[in-house]
Structure 1
């Protein structure tokens, strides 16, 4: 089983590293049954983040239908539009839609044993590419209005589990996302063991579209 974390130009480093470390520790806890990879959309090699020119190495090309997880991070950089700054976060996320990633994510959604997950602006990148209309999802609080405008049912939760799509909020929510993925695939004892290793307790309730509708309180 693979956990593939996608790298694209301008990615946010913590969106990548937090899930990478948590899922790698989870792999150790299950005897290597989960292989964690940093992947490029179409090619291997160094990919430059949006933070200080930091680069990470894509060691494989994304295999969208492989059983496991495909994790899409958000972008980092200036948020507000500035004529002197080309690579703002909204521009970087919109640019993802011009790559081969949307087509591969469509393939992932069509695969029976593949789950698509996003951290922070990753859901916004997929939504702007037309992939999440009608789904339940969340992104960074600064982008939830834009996410809603794409036809997504925005849920103000740390992690939103909508079946084959699991999204999470701001940058540090990648920790909670990855722990939930471990819990969902391998069970709570594995997730708890990784929580203890990292000395981190998951924040918030994972929202799912099940159960009774709550009354207004």
Structure 2
């Protein structure tokens, strides 16, 4: 079986686009990319307004392969999260792109706070969705039902919890698209066998004082994210 990703010069049976924006959290993007790029007969593109390199929130350089304006209709469109997501919630170019893609895509997926971008595009109204635990309550601003789940599916939309959950979401989509056996083969190939050294990966299991420290550390940014979400929700309501 050929495990190589389909190159750009070949015809792919499955085309997947991952939004790649300044300030994205690298693992939100590269986790799903690692999974999807191992699907047979599949092409995975990183898409942004230009094909110039984009810096993640930690300075990791990412190279978009397609511009939004010339991107095809993808079978799967993926929106990762990260601090740069705040600016996307009122970015008309990005939101219009996502709405167009969602009309024809088999699946729309988000990782972490990428669900807030989908919500700002009007794609999660009345739907159940996941998000990073710190920002999960903000989904209610858009009329979305927050769900504290690692992977949440509602119709053609699949959302995940924070950062590392993007790998789980991608494997779940592989199972939907190409069957469980294919998903399990990829899981084994990348040796995705999580056995964390510490039981602190969720506010439900981490020590209360640790949860409070994280909340305190993120308080300023969360306030800014809430303001951005409220403004985006107002714009969305006005446009309806």
Q: TM-score range by the shorter chain?
A: 0.7 to 0.9
Provide Cα deviations, 1:55-96, integer angstroms capped at 9, x if missing partner: 100011246662411110001xxxxxxxxxxxxx3xx32310
Counterpart contact for 1:45–1:58, Cα < 8 Å: yes
Runs of 4 or more, structure 1, over 6 Å off, are none
Instruction: Report the CA distance between 1:202 and its aligned residue.
Output: 8.2
Instruction: Report the CA distance between 1:201 and its aligned residue.
Output: 4.6
Query: Which residue, 184, 189, 194 being the options, matches 2:181?
Result: 189
Matches of 1:109 and 1:38, distance apart in 2: 17
Instruction: Report the CA distance between 1:24 and its aligned residue.
Output: 0.9
The answer on 1:44 being equivalent to 2:51 is yes
The corresponding residue for 2:77 is: 70
In 2 relative to 1, CA 60–10 (structure 1 residues): closer, same or farther, beyond 3 Å? same
More helix per residue: 2
Counterpart contact for 2:77–2:109, Cα < 8 Å: yes
The answer on 1:102 being equivalent to 2:102 is no
Matches of 2:123 and 2:47, distance apart in 1: 20
Matched ranges for 1:130-149 at <5 A: 130-149=122-141
Tell me the TM-score normalised to structure 2 length. Answer: 0.70
Matches of 1:174 and 1:6, distance apart in 2: 14
The answer on 1:12 being equivalent to 2:25 is yes
Instruction: Report the CA distance between 1:9 and its aligned residue.
Output: 1.2
Matches of 1:94 and 1:38, distance apart in 2: 19
Tell me the TM-score normalised to structure 1 length. Answer: 0.77
The corresponding residue for 1:60 is: 66
The corresponding residue for 2:145 is: 153
Matches of 1:129 and 1:95, distance apart in 2: 13
The alignment partner of 2:135 has SS state of: helix
Counterpart contact for 2:125–2:143, Cα < 8 Å: yes
Name the structure, 1 or 2, with higher relative contact order (CA <8 Å, separation 6+).
1
Counterpart contact for 2:89–2:116, Cα < 8 Å: no
Provide Cα deviations, 1:75-126, integer angstroms capped at 9, x if missing partner: 1xxxxxxxxxxxxx3xx32310233111111112211x43210000100122
The alignment partner of 2:30 has SS state of: helix
The answer on 1:21 being equivalent to 2:29 is no
Q: CA RMSD in A?
A: 1.9
Matches of 2:121 and 2:194, distance apart in 1: 30
The structure with more radius of gyration: 2
Q: State how many pairs are aligned.
A: 180
Counterpart contact for 1:22–1:179, Cα < 8 Å: yes
